[in-house]
Amino acid sequence: MRVAAAAAAAAIRPTAALLLLFPPHRRTTSLRRSSLPFARPRRHSTTTTTAESHPKPNESNAARRRRARDSPEGLLKAKLDMCSRDNDLPTALALYEAAISPDSLIPLSLGHYNCLLYLCANAAAADSSSPDAAQRGFDIFSRMEADGVQPNEATLTILARLAAARRDPAMAFSIVRRMATAGTAPHLRSYGPALFAYCDAGDADGATEVEAHMDASGVVPEEAELAALLRVNSARGRPDQVYRLLHRARVLLRQVADATAQLLESWFASHAASEAGLDHWDATKVKQGLRNGGGGWHGQGWLGKGQWTVARTDMDKDGTCHRCGEKLVCIDIDPSETHSFAESVAQIAINRDANFVKFQKWLECHGPFDAVIDAANVGLYNRNSFSFYEVNRVVNGIQRITKSKKLPLIILHKNRVNGGPAKLPQNQKLLESWQRAGALYATPPGSNDDWYWLYAAVIYRSLLVTNDEMRDHLFQLLGTSFFPRWKEKHQVRLTFSGRGWNFHLPPPYSIVIQVITLNCSKVVECQECMNYTEWPEERGLMQESEDGSWHVPTTNGDDIEKPRQWICATRKISGKSSQALARAVG
């Protein structure tokens, strides 16, 4: 492995060789600041072509772009982009050889080099048994360094992919470490080559080190990364790491795809899983973990020992598992989290919409509301034209469901309130009745309705009636794991049948990995999600089931009318462990 890495770097000029082969010690997580640049920048080290960088006097922007497009550099970039689209490495390499030939020399920019390296990495990953594509990639990078073209994050990520294709995770990791120390912020994709290469090699320690570096850099893993870490630690029989990663998955993912579900099923069926657990533990810590976690998780590791049985199942409407009979819990949301989330929504909205402050003042005069309706989503449900009649049916239906029986808040854009079907007499009458009741807010031109109905629903902890999945870029700006938890407890989705509208209320349990079930003693109202759920008389006196059951929700069946599949894993723990567990929680 070391010989292969040395051969790859032999043709690379000193700065690249230092980058690849002399990183900080592999087991050291500190990020030492280096003053060594990746390369000496040259005059045209970006995607800007010569034609663009030397505009002619009085030349229009369109003429300048046209001249750049028709220049040798521009024509080469267009051809390389075509090769990238078709994944055609041979043609791209032929174009590269012609461009660097002294007879037809074309200055290559960062864009040219990144396109070539990308194609080499794709080819190397597709056929890792052949070193040719990876070696060509390193040769091209060497030429790029010699030309003084400064690499960016994309360049170095591709270089890490080339190293991973050569089955050298240490080299791939050294690249991302030096990227961070040189001031180039790594992305999730930057860590992927090293992380997956370590996992594929069965090196759980190396993969964990990459994970730690990601955490230190503020990069959050997604399901693919967590699944790879679960796979390698499960295969190595490391129960403590599997438990830790399940908790990360619980916080970051909540639900798992089918491939990850199969991985977890294999873990629970393994000998290592049956042997994992304690016969004795700190009862105080278990009880405190239950209180702090809001239910569903104690965070104290595997309790008890025994063989697991595992199968797919679903829940009834109350959250009772059809397989083991255990009941899922509704896990609390900290009120301070809700407050912080509302403030972040407001701040983003105000930064993009000066009118949003008026809406906040309006809410102070007319709120609170038990429900908020995304009227545009409802009025256009399965139709091309907006229907005030159907919006009114939903308004009346949700009003009957809510506790106060007050009209819900109806959010509509001003254009829909003033024009089109709104001009019809029956619709005018309807709009006037909503306005008199202080239940209609018309968002001004240029405003985005989404921020308005989301903010109102958050600050009042209201039900939110919409089929909008809230996955577009606007909601990604929120950048918080709180959002999916909030949606789960507040979104009311709709379907329509011959009998009218069907309201699919938030479930009275949390769709998240759960370990703890309850012996419940009374029914009280969960004020956060406004549903009814069984809850113990003294909060925190919960107990894990005698079977030690785990329930993991999958994305299969993530549909309004189709039951969601869950992994149900249970085991009969020993009598001594069962008695210890009873003492811990009771």
Q: By percentage, how much of the chain surpasses pLDDT 90?
A: 55
Sequence letter at residue 244: R
Q: Specify whether the backbone of 426 is left (phi greater than 0), alpha (psi in -120 to 50) or beta.
A: alpha
Q: Identify the pLDDT of residue 279.
A: 77
Tokens of 419: 């024009």
Three-state SS for 551? strand
User: What value does the mean pLDDT take over residues 577-582?
Assistant: 47
Sequence letter at residue 48: T
Q: What is the pTM of this model?
A: 0.76
Q: Identify the pLDDT of residue 11.
A: 35
Which long-range contacts (C-beta less than 8 Å, at least 24 apart) are formed by 468-471?
468/374, 468/377
Q: Is the pLDDT of residue 369 over 50?
A: yes
Cβ burial of 585 (10 Å; 0-12, 13-18, 19+) is middle
Domain positions in the chain are 335-504
Per-range mean pLDDT, top range of 27-41, 145-159, 267-281, 291-305: 145-159
Q: Regarding the domain delimited by 335-504, which CATH topology (the fold level of the hierarchy) does it fall under? A: Rossmann fold (3.40.50)
Q: Quick one: pLDDT band at residue 68, thresholds 50, 70, 90?
A: confident
Where is average pLDDT lowest: 49-53, 163-167, 216-220, 372-376? 49-53
Q: Identify the pLDDT of residue 498.
A: 79
Cis peptide before 368 (omega within 30 of 0): yes
| Bridging pattern class, strands 409-413 and 371-374 | parallel
Tens-digit pLDDT profile for residues 382-433:
888 899 999 999 999 999 999 889 999 999 999 999 988 999 999 999 999 9
Q: Which tops the pLDDT comparison, 139 or 286?
A: 139
Tokens of 188: 């999730």
Q: Quick one: pLDDT band at residue 547, thresholds 50, 70, 90?
A: very low
Strand partners, 308: 571
Q: Identify the pLDDT of residue 132.
A: 87
Q: Is the pLDDT of residue 51 over 60?
A: no
User: What value does the mean pLDDT take over residues 290-315?
Assistant: 81
Across all residues in the chain, what is the average pLDDT? 81
Q: Specify whether the backbone of 536 is left (phi greater than 0), alpha (psi in -120 to 50) or beta.
A: beta
Three-state SS for 53? helix
Q: Identify the pLDDT of residue 548.
A: 61
Is residue 140 within 8 A of residue 120, CB to CB? The reply is yes
Q: Quick one: pLDDT band at residue 573, thresholds 50, 70, 90?
A: low
Q: Identify the pLDDT of residue 115.
A: 96
Measured CA to CA, the distance from residue 519 to residue 544 in angstroms comes to 9
Residue 388: CB partners within 8 Å, gap ≥ 6?
Answer: 379, 421, 422, 424, 426, 427, 430, 431
Q: Is the pLDDT of residue 485 over 90?
A: no
Q: Quick one: pLDDT band at residue 563, thresholds 50, 70, 90?
A: confident
Q: Helical H runs in 201-315?
A: 204-216, 223-235, 239-252, 258-268, 271-275, 283-293
Sequence letter at residue 357: V
Phi, psi of 464 (to 5 degrees): -120, 115
Tokens of 219: 């990069």
Q: Identify the pLDDT of residue 19.
A: 47
Q: Identify the pLDDT of residue 32.
A: 33
Q: Which tops the pLDDT comparison, 557 or 26?
A: 557
